[in-house]
Amino acid sequence: KAGVTQTPRYLIKTRGQQVTLSCSPISGHRSVSWYQQTPGQGLQFLFEYFSETQRNKGNFPGRFSGRQFSNSRSEMNVSTLELGDSALYLCASSLFSTPSTGEQFFGPGTRLTVL
Amino acid sequence: AQSVTQLDSQVPVFEEAPVELRCNYSSSVSVYLFWYVQYPNQGLQLLLKYLSGSTLVKGINGFEAEFNKSQTSFHLRKPSVHISDTAEYFCAVSLLTGNQFYFGTGTSLTVIP
């Protein structure tokens, strides 16, 4: 089975631009979660989608948004980029939406650099 | 609210020596507990998890962890480390009801030949 794939792997943007990141979960997985990883803050939860519905949301400003499609692929969007948005964005997928029913599998991440 | 504290940001250890990576958590509700490993330029890989039952859990690559409810700790141990264990290790908790994970800031384990 193919793992979680994220595209693109690397992105360079400038302040004020917007960006869209994509995540394809493992086939059959219906839950997709997004995390931001930075050296100072570590891994922080952004949001989780299950069957096209946002189930949980972390403490991030409204500039961060996401969606999930009927094939479980997910996108996250960041508008009006700031320097502090530079980070590794990780996507994780699992079969169901509770940790007891299945493991979360992480993708390799998208490295976003904001200049 | 939930929080996870990894007490050591960096841990150097000689090859074949034992290692313990410490993790403490705070939560007002019951949580599940996890340890993940991240190798350079890769995503996170699950080492082990505690959902319920025996407080000593065994994971991949010879790692194990013990859940201590009274001390709210979930320390990771390995009796003999290898060079290939050099990586970043993350402790995490999740709510029982959803895939919302709270991670510690990570411990960088460096195994010295």
Contact assignment for A33 to B104 by CB distance below 8 Å:
no
Q: What confidence score (pLDDT) does residue B2 get?
A: 83
What integer is the mean pLDDT of A98-110?
A: 82
Q: What confidence score (pLDDT) does residue B92 get?
A: 94
What is the rounded CA–CA span in Å between residue A110 and residue A12? 11
What is the rounded CA–CA span in Å between residue B87 and residue A9? 21
Q: How many CB pairs under 8 A join A and B?
A: 70
What is the rounded CA–CA span in Å between residue B102 and residue B83? 28
pLDDT tens, residue by residue, A18-73:
999 999 999 999 999 999 999 878 899 999 999 999 988 999 999 999 999 999 99
What is the rounded CA–CA span in Å between residue A99 and residue A7? 25
Task: State how far residue A24 is from chain B, nearest Cα, in angstroms.
Answer: 14
